Amino acid sequence: MIRNFELSFLRLFRVVKAAMLPSLAALLASCSHNTATSKKPNVIIILADDLGYGDLECYGAKNVKTENVNALAEDGLRFTNAHATASTSTPSRYSLLTGEYAWRRPDTDIARGDAGMIIRPEQYTMADMFKDEGYSTCAIGKWHLGLGEETACQNWNAPLPIALGDIGFDYSYIMAATADRVPCVFIENGQVADYDPDAPIFVDYEQNFPGEPTGYDNPELCYNLKSSQGHCMSIVNGIGRIGYMKGGGKALWKDENIADSITVHATEYIRKHKDEPFFMYFATNDVHVPRFPHERFRGKTNMGLRGDAIAEFDWSVGQIVNTLKELGLYENTLIILTSDNGPVLDDGYADRARELLNGHDPSGGMRGGKYSVLEAGTVVPFIVSWPNRISGGDSSNALVSQIDLFASMKELIDASLPIDAAPDSWNSLSTIIGKDYKDREWVVEQAYDHTMSIRNKQWKYIEPSDGPLMIDWGPEIETGNSNVPQLFEMTDNVERENVASVYPDIAVELQETLNEVRGK
């Protein structure tokens, strides 16, 4: 553990006390009438993976029942113009947890399973903030932000020298990267959970281990899911993965049990910490590939594995909410349910996601999807519930961004931050909890190839880029790239007609704002 006195000492000096004026948090606390409501709220971020704006019933989906998410939206506030900062996982999650745009750093693209820790112990995270304010903190589920000191140098058979405990999480039970990347084991507090000493774990992203089967050589061993693209290296649980791995034994996960494992760890955590404020980062594997939901969700929808994975996600949400209700914690828990990026259908496994849509539109009518700079890449479901403070049943069309969650949570708990923490995060608590409907001045969006866009409520500008018009390695997704500047009027969140030549001043102004944000 690097977290030591030196760091805390430094932080102590770097800390600047929050504003002189009473904060919204203080005002909220002062108008409460009993201790139950003035107690610091628990905070849970439920972060789905690749869940599109149109994938939930309360956002218009017809082919899947998402009653638990619907109920959360009924009790809270449903946003219709909320953005992730990037249309892929690693940069999106990096921004959310650090309050810094991922594109400010060169090493935040989709991470390998053996990536070294991208957020280093010196960097102040949202979890650090909650911890410093007396919260218990945990991360459960998909991580995808690297582990250990250095890429490709981890010893998976011993405690990792640095892990989530060094960036503010008291407890963690995570998948190192994604379900389609090795190592296919859970890591609990920096070491492999259920470690099997008879099956030491080795991981390599360059070459296979002698004698180990791969999806390339032994496709017949991919009995659970076939690849449609890539995913042909090591085979675990009858599914080909990205990266080579050997060993694992009883520690290897079964994909059909991932939702159960992480959900049980989350509900257990809530029970254990019911008497103290807690912050939980609950990042599901659903609905990322390989989609392989438990058999009790099979056939719940007419959309095959992808639809059934949405049903499984909804179940996880229900388990968390029911546990909170049972313990009397629901009213004073602020839940933010959202997704790391937009939807994709065929993302490298032959799960027939496209063929079985049956009229479903994961992107909710927007253009593009995961990976793209178009709206469906980053406009995500965003539901906020906190019965003590939010009366429920409302929706908000305010333009909001996940980058602002850090500063907004700071306001919520009246925290002090080191001076250089969360540099890109702005406080929008009042909008997030529905006290107002103020739009963010602009949001910046990053595509997989780093094409950037900036939009405000009325206009969206996409920088010129020489990238392809469609993703050129598999998923059938429009990128939004063009070699000329693009400007769209965003009346219904759809990029329809490029009007850059009709309103050149607006295009130039947005490009200048983007340059300023970048050059900051």
Kindly write down the DSSP assignment for every residue of 168-234, as one continuous string.
Answer: T-SEEEEESS-TTBS--BEEETTEETT--TTS--EEESS-PPTT--BTTT-GGG--SB-BSSS--SB
Asked if 340 is part of the footprint of Ca ion (rule: CB under 5 A), the reply reads yes
Which partner from the list Ca ion, ligand NG6, none does 347 bind, CB cut-off 5 to 8 Å by kind?
A: ligand NG6
Asked if 242 is part of the footprint of ligand NG6 (rule: CB under 6 A), the reply reads yes
Q: Which is nearer to ligand NG6, 176 or 280 (CB)?
A: 176
The Cα–Cα gap between 216 and 232 comes to 5
Asked if 347 is part of the footprint of Ca ion (rule: CB under 5 A), the reply reads no
Beta strands 417-418; 15-16: pairing state: antiparallel
Q: Where do runs of H (alpha helix) occur along 389-472?
A: 405-413, 429-432
Which partner from the list ligand NG6, Ca ion, none does 408 bind, CB cut-off 5 to 8 Å by kind?
A: none
- The answer to whether 287 and 317 are in contact (CB under 8 A) is no
**Shortest spacing between CB 346 and ligand NG6, in angstroms:** 9
Which listed residue (81, 87, 89, 125) binds Ca ion by CB under 5 A?
89
- The answer to whether 224 and 292 are in contact (CB under 8 A) is yes
The Cα–Cα gap between 52 and 59 comes to 10
The closest alpha carbon to 338, from 17, 131, 59, 5, belongs to 59
For residue 290, say if its preceding peptide bond is cis, omega within 30 degrees of 0: yes
Q: Where do runs of H (alpha helix) occur along 304-432?
A: 304-326, 375-378, 405-413, 429-432
**Interface of this chain with ligand NG6, residues 464 to 503, rule: CB under 6 A:** 474
C-alpha radius of gyration, the chain, whole number: 22
Asked if 50 is part of the footprint of Ca ion (rule: CB under 5 A), the reply reads yes
Interface with Ca ion (CB under 5 A), residue total 5
- The answer to whether 427 and 407 are in contact (CB under 8 A) is yes
Asked if 289 is part of the footprint of ligand NG6 (rule: CB under 6 A), the reply reads yes
**Shortest spacing between CB 297 and ligand NG6, in angstroms:** 20
The closest alpha carbon to 434, from 146, 58, 13, 77, belongs to 77
Asked if 341 is part of the footprint of Ca ion (rule: CB under 5 A), the reply reads yes
**Interface of this chain with ligand NG6, residues 290 to 349, rule: CB under 6 A:** 341, 347-348
Which partner from the list ligand NG6, Ca ion, none does 445 bind, CB cut-off 5 to 8 Å by kind?
A: none
The closest alpha carbon to 347, from 242, 259, 229, belongs to 229
What's the helix, strand, coil split of the chain in %, to 5? 30, 20, 55
- Would you state the structure tokens that stand for residue 283, as one six-digit string? 């990042």
The span of 229-237, 303-311, 499-507, 511-519 binding ligand NG6 (CB under 6 A) equals 229-237
- Would you state the structure tokens that stand for residue 259, as one six-digit string? 């939702």
Which listed residue (230, 387, 392, 464) binds ligand NG6 by CB under 6 A?
230
Which partner from the list Ca ion, ligand NG6, none does 22 bind, CB cut-off 5 to 8 Å by kind?
A: none
**Shortest spacing between CB 374 and ligand NG6, in angstroms:** 16
Asked if 109 is part of the footprint of Ca ion (rule: CB under 5 A), the reply reads no
Which residue has the CB atom at the shortest distance from Ca ion? 89
Which partner from the list Ca ion, ligand NG6, none does 385 bind, CB cut-off 5 to 8 Å by kind?
A: none
Which partner from the list ligand NG6, Ca ion, none does 474 bind, CB cut-off 5 to 8 Å by kind?
A: ligand NG6
Q: Which is nearer to ligand NG6, 345 or 429 (CB)?
A: 345
The span of 5-13, 47-55, 418-426, 469-477 binding Ca ion (CB under 5 A) equals 47-55
Q: Which is nearer to ligand NG6, 407 or 447 (CB)?
A: 447
Binding site for Ca ion (CB under 5 A): 49-50, 89, 340-341
Binding site for ligand NG6 (CB under 6 A): 49-50, 88-89, 110, 144, 178, 180, 229-231, 242, 288-289, 341, 347-348, 474
